[in-house]
Structures are given as C-alpha cells and as structure tokens.
Structure 1
Amino acid sequence: MNNETVSNGVPLAWELGLYGNRTGKEGIIGGYNVDSKGYRGAAYASCENFGQSIVLNFTSPNPGRSLYHLVLIGGKGSGTVEFLVKTVFDAALQAATVPGPRVYLGDAVTLVYVSNSTDLVNATPRYSFTGWANMTSVSMELVDNRTCRVNVPGQPAGTNLVYGVVATDILRDVLIANGSYNVKTSSLLSISLVRQTVTLGENITVTGNLTPANSGMPISLYFTSGNESETVVVYTLQDGSFTASYRPEVSGEWSVQARFFESDSVYGSITSELLVQVDDPSLFAVYSLYIAIEAGGSAAAAVVSIVFLRKWRGKAVEEEW
C-alpha cells in the first residue's frame, strides 16, 4: 500500500481492513481470518449474546515474527471488555520436588511444581487415600511467580496416596499435574548358619528373623556355589522367625543370602551373604560300609572255620575212641 502509516516505527492497521475490506484483487491486506479457514468477509460475527466470550483462533501462514493488530469495535450499549492475547500454548506444570522411591511411616512429603512458561495466579492441591472416593483439599503456597509448594502430612504404613495439583496461570490456562506414592515401614532381615561347615550329603541349615514380626511373610533364600544355585522359599512364623534347609550336591564354598520382597505396608530388605564350607566325606566315611561288610564277612568266616574245626576235631576224637 502507498498510504502506509507508521507510528514509532510500527506500521498501523489499514482502517478499512479493520471492517473486513481487503486491498486489490489479491486481497493481501485486510479482511477477517479468525479461525484459520480463510477470508470470511464483513458479514462475519463472533457472538450475538451479552457476556458471551469471543474466541479467535489464528495460525500465521508465515514463519518468523509477525505484526498483528487487535481491534475491538463496540456495538450497542456500554460495558467493560476484557481481552487476552495468547501466544503460549505449551504451558504445563513440571515436578521440581516429588516423593522419593520410599516414603516411610509418619514422614511428611513436600510437593513442589514449577510452571514451565507462564506465571501462576493460584494453585490448589488435592489428595486422596481412597482412590478419589474421598479427597482432601489444602492451600498451596506460591513461592514465586512460577513455583507452588505444599507439605502433605505423614501417613500410616499401608497408605496409597494419590494427589493432583490444579493451577491457573495468567493466560487462564488450567494446568494439572498428578502423582501418587505409597507409605510403608522399613524392615530388617537377618540370618545365621546353624553350622559353618557341613559334609556333602548333609543339609545347610539357616535360621533367620524378619522385623516387624508377622506370620506368613515369604522369604527367599539363595544358595550359590559357582554354576550351582538353588532358591528356597519359606514363610515366617508369628514372631517373624523362619528356618530353611538345603542339601547341596557338590562340595566347595557356598554362599547363602536371604531377601524379603516387601508387602503392602512393609518395604523389602536383603541380607549380606554368609559363607558355608561343604567338604567331601573322608575316605573312612566313604569306605566305612565296605570295611564293615568285609570285617563282618571275615568274622563270619572265622566263626565257621572254628565251628568246623571244632566239629572235625570232635569227630577225630570220637574216631580215636
């Protein structure tokens, strides 16, 4: 256009174009294009009722920065017009501080979320112990323009807490973040060997204890030696104690380790390895049966010889008589 008007280095809108008119045959300047579907003309109306919101959605066909003019033309009557120009569409809450992998009985949890691109107006956290069947809403502190924080009080072991943070930013976006964590108590698992040295053919016997005590808790024991391994699962008694045995088929040094994998209210734990020596049986033990059989046979032969000798001698005496 030849009549371009510039103010402070910024070109002003062509007045006729603000009413829907376009310049020339190509219509480069002016007209309405409020929903990315092309030219609508002067007959376009965005709303008809008092108080109704007007939403204009426009995507620039050109790369780079562009200059736009927003013109509000009043109709009949008077009032206050609120308008918002939004150019950020990826606003979201990002977790800055969330629960660690383990939350223990009675531990308070701090949740901190940060808006990635816009300032926050308010934020409200909600949490539930019943899968949102019931929920609790508390106030959330705005630490700065983009950061919100809340402390969730400690909960009993066995609690599954789900939470959500709903925040509103200055562009009136509703930003939502969700999460959950479990609350459990710690456990202590210990084991000991009944004997640190056994002979091949005998059992490796392990006793142990799980705290807190409860019956029916599964304990996995791993017996390992070189390429040989065996897993034995036993269950705790009411006092938390347990006993496990395994009979190895090869001699050498064996390691024993126990593990509790956790329950709904107790975190898992694992013991250090214990070493037990499995010795080959002695030669006497190996051949003791054969020695016993041989000794028994020799004794029997000696008895028979004596009997026959006695009988023979007895017969000779009779013949002499």
Structure 2
Amino acid sequence: MEQRHLGRTGLRVSRLGLGTLTWGRDTDEHDAAEQLKAFWDAGGTLVDTADVYGGGEAEYLLGRLVGDKALVPRRDLVISTKAGSVPDPDRRTDGSRGHLLAALDASLARLGTDYVDLWQLHAFDPYTPLEESLQALDIAVSTGRARYVGVSDFCGWQLAKAGTWQLAGERTRLAGTQMEYSLLQRGIEREVLPAALDLGIGLLPSSPLGRGVLTGKYRHGTPTDSRGGSEALAPFVEPYLDETASRIVDAVSTAADGLATTPLQVALAWVRDRPGVTAPIVGARNAQQLTAALSVESLSLPDEICRALDDVSAPVHRYPDHDWSTL
C-alpha cells in the first residue's frame, strides 16, 4: 500500500488506516485478528484506536495482537490512540494535564508498548486552558511515550489556535487531525481543512463511507445486520438517510457502475485523494468487509467522475457572497 507523510512531519503512514471503534464490543478477538492480518498483508500500517473504545477493550485487544511473538510485529505498525473523552454525561471531555498523562500511561499498559506513534487529544475541552492540554502532548513526546501528536474533533478555530501555538518555541508540531469527512459530510472544507493545509497538519478522515450509507446498503431499506438496524447505532446512521443523501448515494452508484467497481470503492477513493487528506480511517465488522475496502488501492477516479461527485455533494451552506458593485 502507498505510504504518505502525515502533515509536515517525517512520519509515514499507509494511505488507509484501520479503525478499531468496535473492537472489544461488536468485534471479538478472532475477527479483530483476521482484520489486522488482512490489513498488514495489504501493506497497511496505521491502526487507529482510543482509550474509550470498548471501555479500553479495543486497546487491550490490539495489544494482544501486536508484538515480536504476536500476530503482527510492533515495528510494522503505526499505532495511534487518543485521550480526553470521558464517560461522564456532565463533562464529556477532560483535557487537564493530569488526566491526559494518566490516560496515556493506562493506554500504554493496555497496548503492551512503551510508546505510541501518534497520540491525539480526542476532543476540545472548554473547561481546561488549551495550553495546558497541549503541554501534555509536549511532555508525552519529551518523555518518549509518544513519537508524534495531534488532535481530533477540533473545529476550525480550535485547530488553528492549537496548531499555531505548537509552532512556537520548543513545542511539538501537530502532525495530524482527525475529523469526519465524506461525500455526505463535507463541512470541514469550510474551515478545518484550510487550517490544516495552511499549518501542515495531515487530515485523517473518520467515517469516510458516510457511516456506511455510501456503500449503497441502505438504498432499498435498512438491513437488519447493519448499523442502521442496530438499536444502539441507528441514531448514528439516521441523519444520512434523507433525500439529499439519497441523491449522492445514487450518483456514487452510477459512477461505480460506469467504472465496473463498487460504491464503496468510489466513495473511499474520492475522500482518500482529496487535498490535505493523508489516510481515511476505515472500520469494518469483519475481515471480508475490510478486504473490500482495501481493494480500493488500485483505483484512481477519473477527473470527470470527481467533478461530478463534487457537484452533487457540494455543501449547501456557504459563506455569504456580496456583490459590492450593487451597493
């Protein structure tokens, strides 16, 4: 698989990442092992997790599968994890330095490794000074617990502030930022993506398949074995089942028919090759689904297909345009 630099850093990662959101919850050790093996065999290196995925079980499971005597050698993977999200309905994030560093140590213990390749703030904490949260990133790097650092789910001004702050003095440059991005969700193009491009921060899109909707599986109803058919995850999928999304999914399916490929491959290739994107993070229920996503490696969309998909999925809400000549 092709490798790309993450932002303006020396860290190289595969241009598709493996997500572990469901590991330890909906994905057991057997299925996780098959996914990781298929990903590694295809040349994949970037594996994305977080301390809250599966209540810590995702990290624990990944740690069992990685190592010199395990399924995949540690040196062959770029492991990314996150800290800052907390299971507290009154305070969903904790970006305090103490919490973040304690969470990193706990992640390292579960992963069975001395360091992570990429450590990210999972979300912006409005209750903690941003410079305190960012100091935790610097400490993680200076102590060897993290090789590179980044953020996740920061809006445009938050990313710009954090990225600029980290460029000063002896601080550690932000390597990456993670945010939802797909043909069904292009909101980051307004401010997040321009900030990332300007600051040299690589984008790691989450939900690049529009929460599964862009695969076309919901065109004629909701499969009972899908996320949309799950009581827990149906609210996650439902926003992308409206008429606007249907038009985009139809366009993706038409493009796939013309290219003799699948809607999944078309949607994934589109986001993978957008300016500023380093590696979309792909999650799957099993190795068969993951293999279907990995097959996109050989696909490059023709320019005319990209333009057509750009047009049909263009965000509705833009900045106000003023014709000053009429005033």
Short-chain TM bin = under 0.3
Give the TM-score normalised by structure 2: 0.20
Q: Which has the higher helix share?
A: 2
Give the TM-score normalised by structure 1: 0.20
Q: Which has the higher strand share?
A: 1
